[in-house]
Structure 1
Amino acid sequence: MTTPPLGRTTPVKGFLAVLSLLLAVTVWVVGLLDSLSRPSVAPALSLQQQEMALLAGSALPDPLRSLLVGSDPAATLRDALREIPLDRLDDRQRLLLASLEADSDKRRLVLAPPLGSPDLQPLQRALVDDTQSAQLSVSERDLLADPKADPLLRELSCLALGGTTVDCRQQAIARAVARRLVLAELLPLLALVLGAGLLLRHLWLLWRGGINPWPMLTAPPLTLVDMVLLVAGGFVVLGEVLLPLVVSPVTAALSRGLAPPLSQAVSVLLGYAALALPPLVIIRQQLKGVDPATRPEFGWLQWRLRPAGTSVIQGGRAWLMVMPPVVFTGWLMGRLLGDQGGSNPLLELVLRSQDPLALILLATTAIVLAPLFEETVFRGVLLPVLVRYLGRGWGVFLSGLVFAVAHLSIGELPPLLVLGLGLALLRLSSGRLLPCVVMHAFWNGATFLNLILLGG
């Protein structure tokens, strides 16, 4: 590892670093504690999968039906909706539950015991009896008035009104949903199996000494104080706290008059750009005064864009290999501590959005901007400097920990830490930054694709 001359730490610089660190720790502690009250996207994803299973069950072949749908998807969805307090169900979910609870014989209501709540009885009677429809809210009547907009609600309400399966089921829609469900369930499973095989092979080669030595790591000529100013001062204080105060009115003005999904997507894109700007400016200023003669062949960040194909292969393979430990960590934390909440709000936006332009903007943020910016800061600058001062082991761990904490989610912190460790090891083993960006983009892109398949 090269050791270029280090930057000089002045008293003012040291004072700003200490102040930035104190403010950043405060922001991070408050953000992590706040994440405990922020809802998780996991329950919404689970409900979405159960709805798709019920709608797609008839269009799946028998082997896949037993694997993906189960023996009674209607009962599974009904039980899941029953577990949610009635005052937290939206109008659509209340209609779904009422339809699932009700069975009709010549328009005579029969309640399937045990009834989820006595408060649902007027809704069920209104659902099966036109004379009681005034008991429905305006939004509930709108949902039932346009059955094409919600195939599952149309099918269940049709069955509750006494219709036959042939009359109520829309096979073309069921087949389309079945294809999405198969992709959403089997693609991640295939990636996990392939990743586990690659990981075991890599560990075997490592044990047998068949892995090539890692290349020499080139670190930017920066100090630990510079890293505090970059991460605590630029990323947290300026990027997360101060600059959003300036950008928020501009974002509100630009998104005024847009539909809610598109308006939220514009806010996310501009907000992330504002977050990324201060750290990137700080990196540029920190490296601006370095003697050009000490600059390594591929630059201080070691992007090494060519050959690009090798970066894609390295990033894709590393993404597959890191999936099993990340998924296992998330599963283990769920079993030990339960759902801690705190999911990234962008996940919910993608899951619920129906606007193609909004999805494009969200994809640009998640798959392009986030990998480029985060890898530049955490693996391009922070990791090499930490490794130079603290050694390889501590450098990998602390850079991964900072990466995980920066996402401000206690529930997602352990899996993100494992992901950060995998990205750091890829940076060290490849000697390049571009494979890390590719791996990060693959990770975010796979999550995005799964939300798209389950959404709508």
Structure 2
Amino acid sequence: MGDPAARISADDPPGATAITSPTTASERDATWKQVLALLSLSLSLLLWTNGLLDSLQRPSVSPALDRRQLELAVLAAPALEGSVGSAVVGSDPQERLLEALLDDPASLQSGRERVLLELLARRTGRSLPPSLPELPSGDPGPAGALARALSDPTPDAASLPDGSGAEDPLLARLSCQVLGAAAPEDCVAAGEARAAAVKLAMVSVLPLLLLLGGLGLIARLAWCRWRRSLPPEPPLRGPDLTLVDVTLLIAGGFVVLGETVVPLLALPLAQAVTTALGLEPPRSEALGVVLLYSSLMALPLMILALMLRGRPPIEGGLLQWRWRPLGSGLRLAGGGVLMVLPLVSLAGWLAQRWFGEGGGSNPLLEVVLGSRDGLSLFCLAFTATVLAPWFEELLFRGVLLPVLVRRQSRLLGLVGSALVFAAAHLSLGELLPLLVLGFALGWLRLSSGRLAPCVLMHALWNGFTFANLIVLGG
């Protein structure tokens, strides 16, 4: 048995050479696609490995979040008395905030944080190490005014300029208590204390209640599975692509082109647009984020459109969006957020034990935490809750997951799509929590047979994180 195209007939003369059929165009295309896919995969692995390792050099936003929560506790303490209030505020929030500042020397490069540390030290009677940065007396803002007052050999209320710290309730209260002539309890504004108590409940008590609700839903799911009362999974439908196609789409279009070509084209465009509109930071930066992410989406979407061109429609659509009924999609998304919350919290705790405060955070988190401009926050929120969930779910749960399940196995589809999703965020410290989140989104895709609930769940998760940052930043 040989290749029919290379067979020599018995009637051919001795010494005749076998004639092989020429390589078809489709075979040549397939070979080039495989070579290009392998090259794209190699480059994307190199880019992602470097990005994950570089994330170890980025600062984590976790210490700043912890300090902001402690600041809320200090402000809210007068409004939260009794055993319940003590449980929310914790023991001696002023002392804990002082320790948190001392444990993060980098934060003391900020004039505001350095002045806050000085006020806390004088309020609690603590002596500070002499190696700390000097008070920012030359700062033209409120922190500088307070620093000059604190640098006075005999500071008192007379050395405190009018309105100093008025835009910062915590600095205003502490400066009144340290430098003012009034009694410390008279420096407490009841309205500010109540507002801080509400914010503290939103960022500490509410997540705890949601976490307990998520544990209850997980227990209910486990009980139903043990009793085999769960409904059967609907058939999974997706684009009929090969592993080579998906590699070209994600490794080539999303990673390689997205991290090399797109910034070269999109960054000058974003700068030109923001300059033409006359925008200044932080608005120019926020609009630049929207334009850059939109440009990042464009190439993979065009590649996917070319891959799907001419393919016959299937029941439920090529990607199984199935937005209707919207109510059931929202219920599935909300339940998914609740169930994944305790799992992601556990993964985050483990990651912190392994990496400490290293591993880097998404730089946008710090931008949101420090921004108070409404238009900037809207642009960032639009990117985080609309663009990113829609695009990432289309790519990872709409295309990658169904192809891996069909070509390999259900488990490999779940793990593979979750791993690519987590690695794409280029944060080693957040890799494990994102892996858990990606696995949960994949499970929702398989169990519901719909892509829309995954988009909604992703949007709710990002929105929950975004709202926490706004509350802490405010």
Return the TM-score normalized by structure 2.
0.86
Instruction: Tell me, in whole angstroms, the C-alpha distance in 1 between the residues paired with 2:219 and 2:39.
Output: 45
Structure 1 residue aligned with 2:360: 342
Are 2:249 and 1:236 aligned? no
* Structure 1 residues 207 and 129: alpha-carbon distance in aligned structure 2, compared to 1, 3 A threshold: same
Which residue of 68, 87, 91 maps to 1:48? 68
SS in 1 for 2:166: helix
Let me know the Cα RMSD of the aligned residues.
Answer: 2.2
* 1:277 to partner: Cα distance: 1.0
Instruction: Tell me, in whole angstroms, the C-alpha distance in 2 between the residues paired with 1:157 and 1:394.
Output: 58
Quick check: 220-229 or 115-124, which moved more? 115-124
Counterparts of 1:37-186 in structure 2 under 5 Å? 37-85=57-105, 88-103=108-123, 112-117=125-130, 119=132, 126-128=148-150, 130=152, 146-163=164-181, 164-186=183-205
Q: For residue 127 of structure 1, what is the amino acid of its counterpart?
A: A
Q: For residue 129 of structure 2, what is the amino acid of its counterpart?
A: G
Q: Looking at both structures, which has the greater relative contact order when contacts are Cα pairs under 8 Å and sequence separation is at least 6? A: 1
* Structure 1 residues 87 and 356: alpha-carbon distance in aligned structure 2, compared to 1, 3 A threshold: closer
* 1:266 to partner: Cα distance: 0.8
Structure 2 residue aligned with 1:207: 226
Are 2:449 and 1:431 aligned? yes
Stretches of structure 2 that go unaligned for 5 or more consecutive residues are 1-25, 138-145
Are 2:268 and 1:249 aligned? yes
Instruction: Tell me, in whole angstroms, the C-alpha distance in 1 between the residues paired with 2:148 and 2:363.
Output: 35
Structure 2 residue aligned with 1:107: none
Q: Which of the pair has more CA radius of gyration?
A: 2
* 1:120 to partner: Cα distance: 6.5
TM-superposition CA deviations, 1:354-393 (whole Å, max 9, x none): 0111111111100111110000000000000000111101
Which residue of 214, 232, 251 maps to 1:195? 214
Which residue of 372, 397, 401 maps to 2:415? 397
Structure 1 residue aligned with 2:323: 305
Answer whether contact 1:98 1:120 (CA < 8 A) is retained.
Answer: no
Answer whether contact 1:51 1:152 (CA < 8 A) is retained.
Answer: yes
Q: For residue 165 of structure 1, what is the amino acid of its counterpart?
A: P
* 1:327 to partner: Cα distance: 0.9
* Structure 1 residues 64 and 348: alpha-carbon distance in aligned structure 2, compared to 1, 3 A threshold: farther
Q: For residue 248 of structure 1, what is the amino acid of its counterpart?
A: L
Kindly tell me the number of residue pairs found equivalent between the two proteins: 432
* 1:213 to partner: Cα distance: 1.1
Stretches of structure 1 that go unaligned for 5 or more consecutive residues are 1-6, 104-110, 134-140
Instruction: Tell me, in whole angstroms, the C-alpha distance in 1 between the residues paired with 2:47 and 2:168.
Output: 42
Answer whether contact 1:219 1:388 (CA < 8 A) is retained.
Answer: no
Answer whether contact 2:88 2:205 (CA < 8 A) is retained.
Answer: no
Counterparts of 1:210-229 in structure 2 under 5 Å? 210-229=229-248
* 1:10 to partner: Cα distance: 1.6
Return the TM-score normalized by structure 1.
0.90
Structure 1 residue aligned with 2:143: none
Answer whether contact 1:99 1:127 (CA < 8 A) is retained.
Answer: no
Identity of aligned residues (%): 50
Instruction: Tell me, in whole angstroms, the C-alpha distance in 1 between the residues paired with 2:226 and 2:40.
Output: 43
